[in-house]
A = this chain, B = another copy of it.
C-alpha cells in the first residue's frame, strides 16, 4: 500500500456525516483523549510486568489489589475502597512434565499444564496407556472395560468454522471443566485435555475444572494443540503407547482477598450506581493482559477520561476490579451480596472480559422498552466503526446483579485472536495493541456516558 490518493479516495465518504450533536462532540472528545493518552496503556504494562500470573491466593494478585487501589486513590476519585472476598487457594507448584512413551518413536516431551483445581501426581508422576475420545458419549460407550486404569485424552477441537469463537469455546469446554470427573466414573487414572484454542501452537492453555462431589479426584492437565495433534497421530499407529505426566499442584485452605472499587459520585442521583468492571485475577502462565488486565484498566480509564474531560455523571459510576473470576467467581457474588446488604440501587452494569481487541459493540440484556432505547445508541458509534449492538449481555462477575433487575451488558471486541492468548503463556502485554485497547476504553466510556446522560 503506497500511494496516498487512492487511500483518501477509497475512504472519502466514510466520515461525511450530519452536524454533530452535543453528545456526538462529547464522544469525539472521549475517543480523541483515549487515542492520545498513554496513561492506561502504561498502567496495563505495569500490571502485567509486575503482577503476572495473578491467580487467587498468590502474592501477585495481592500486589495487583494494592496497585489498583493506590492507582485509583492517586486519581482522586470520590471514593476508593476494597471489599473482602474469601477465595480458593490453589497452587500449581513445580512445573509440569509430560512425555509420550512410544516404542516406535521413542520418548517425546510435550507441553502440558495443570488444570485449575486439579490434584497433582506428585514426584512419582503417572504413567498409563491412553484412550482418546471426542465426547462424553464416546467415553460412555467405551465404558469401564476400556477406560479403567488409563489416561483419558479428550481431543475434541474448538470448531474452527464458528465465526463466534466464544461459541466454539463453549462447544469444547466441557472436556476441560468436567472431563476428569467424567473419566473418573469409568476408572480412569488421569485426564489429558486438548487446549481450548483455535490456534495450532505449543502453549498449553489452562482453566478451571471441577470434580464431582464425592467423586474420585484424578489429576488433569491440558496439552498444547500441537502436542494433541502429535499424540493423536502416534496413537493411530500405536494404540498401546504410554503417556507419563507429573504435576505438583495442590489446593490449600481458602484465603482472603479483595474486590477493588473506585467511583465518581453522581451529581444528581448519587444513589444510582453504574458498575463497570473486569477481573483482576488471572491464570498464572501468562500476564493476564487480555484476560483480564485489559478490562480492569479500561474500566479505570473510563473514570480517568470522565475526570479529564470534566464529564460529571448524574449517577455514581464505578470501576470494579472483581476478584476470582477464574476459579469460583466469589468476587462477583460478594459484590452483589454487599449491594443487597447495603440496599444499593444498581442502575446498570457492564462487564469487559473479552480481551483488548478492536471494539465491535455491546450486548445488552434489559427489559424490552429499555433494551430498545439502549440498542439505538448504535448510531452514536458509527463514526468509529462500532456497529454491533445486540440483545443478550452480561458476564460472570456482574450476573449476580441480575437478581435486582439491573440491566446487564457485555463489551464485545473482535474475537478471532482471543483464544490464541487465552489462559496461556501467550497472554502478555506485548499482545495488546495500544489503539485497539484504547478504542475499547473510549467505546466503554462513551456507552456509559450515554446510558447515564439519557437515563437509559
In the complex, chain B residues whose CB is within 8 Å of the CB of A384: 163
The reply to whether B32 and A161 form a contact with Cβ atoms under 8 Å apart is yes
Q: What's the Cα separation between A390 and B165 when bound, in Å?
A: 27
Against B, the Cβ 8 Å flags (1 = close, 0 = not) of A399-442 are: 10000000000101010111010100000000001111001000
Q: What's the Cα separation between A15 and B167 when bound, in Å?
A: 10
The reply to whether B387 and A161 form a contact with Cβ atoms under 8 Å apart is no
In the complex, chain B residues whose CB is within 8 Å of the CB of A174: 4
Q: A13 touches which one: B160, B353, B387, B390 (CB < 8 A)?
A: B390
Q: A396 touches which one: B6, B207, B410 (CB < 8 A)?
A: B6
A416-B436 contact, Cβ under 8 Å, with A2-B325, A4-B177, A163-B384: yes
The reply to whether B396 and A3 form a contact with Cβ atoms under 8 Å apart is yes
A10-B392 contact, Cβ under 8 Å, with A387-B387, A414-B414: yes
In the complex, chain B residues whose CB is within 8 Å of the CB of A325: 1-2
The reply to whether A394 and B6 form a contact with Cβ atoms under 8 Å apart is yes
In the complex, chain B residues whose CB is within 8 Å of the CB of A22: none
Nearest-neighbor residue (CB-CB) of A355 within chain B: B1
In the complex, chain B residues whose CB is within 8 Å of the CB of A232: none
Tell whether A326 is near chain B: CB-to-CB under 8 Å.
yes
A391-B160 contact, Cβ under 8 Å, with A7-B170, A173-B4: no
Nearest Cβ in chain B — how far from A235, in angstroms? 21
Tell whether A31 is near chain B: CB-to-CB under 8 Å.
yes
Nearest Cβ in chain B — how far from A25, in angstroms? 13
Q: Within residues 163 to 218 of chain A, which ones have a CB less than 8 A from any CB in chain B? A: 163-167, 169-170, 173-174, 177, 198-200, 207-208
The reply to whether B417 and A36 form a contact with Cβ atoms under 8 Å apart is no
Q: A198 touches which one: B8, B11, B161, B435 (CB < 8 A)?
A: B435
Nearest-neighbor residue (CB-CB) of A420 within chain B: B433
The reply to whether B417 and A291 form a contact with Cβ atoms under 8 Å apart is no
Q: What's the Cα separation between A3 and B169 when bound, in Å?
A: 10
The reply to whether B394 and A10 form a contact with Cβ atoms under 8 Å apart is yes
Against B, the Cβ 8 Å flags (1 = close, 0 = not) of A1-30 are: 111111111111111000000000000000
A12-B392 contact, Cβ under 8 Å, with A35-B161, A173-B4, A417-B433: yes
Interface size for chain A: under 10, 10 to 19, 20 to 34, or 35 or more residues?
35 or more
In the complex, chain B residues whose CB is within 8 Å of the CB of A173: 4
Tell whether A314 is near chain B: CB-to-CB under 8 Å.
no
Nearest-neighbor residue (CB-CB) of A393 within chain B: B10
Tell whether A242 is near chain B: CB-to-CB under 8 Å.
no
Q: A416 touches which one: B9, B163, B391, B433 (CB < 8 A)?
A: B433
Tell whether A88 is near chain B: CB-to-CB under 8 Å.
no
Tell whether A57 is near chain B: CB-to-CB under 8 Å.
no
Q: What's the Cα separation between A440 and B451 when bound, in Å?
A: 35
The reply to whether A4 and B170 form a contact with Cβ atoms under 8 Å apart is yes
Q: What's the Cα separation between A422 and B2 when bound, in Å?
A: 10
Tell whether A143 is near chain B: CB-to-CB under 8 Å.
no
Tell whether A259 is near chain B: CB-to-CB under 8 Å.
no
In the complex, chain B residues whose CB is within 8 Å of the CB of A439: 163, 416
Tell whether A72 is near chain B: CB-to-CB under 8 Å.
no
Tell whether A48 is near chain B: CB-to-CB under 8 Å.
no
Tell whether A360 is near chain B: CB-to-CB under 8 Å.
yes
The reply to whether A163 and B291 form a contact with Cβ atoms under 8 Å apart is no
In the complex, chain B residues whose CB is within 8 Å of the CB of A417: 433, 435-436
Nearest-neighbor residue (CB-CB) of A327 within chain B: B2
Tell whether A102 is near chain B: CB-to-CB under 8 Å.
no
In the complex, chain B residues whose CB is within 8 Å of the CB of A433: 416-417, 420
The reply to whether B435 and A416 form a contact with Cβ atoms under 8 Å apart is yes
Against B, the Cβ 8 Å flags (1 = close, 0 = not) of A352-370 are: 0111001010010000000
Tell whether A93 is near chain B: CB-to-CB under 8 Å.
no
Give A residues with C-beta under 8 Å from B.
1-15, 31-32, 35-36, 38, 160-161, 163-167, 169-170, 173-174, 177, 198-200, 207-208, 291-292, 325-326, 329, 353-355, 358, 360, 363, 383-385, 387-388, 390-396, 399, 410, 412, 414, 416-418, 420, 422, 433-436, 439
Nearest first, the 8 closest Cβ-Cβ pairs linking A and B are A416-B435, A7-B166, A4-B170, A32-B161, A4-B173, A3-B396, A35-B160, A10-B363
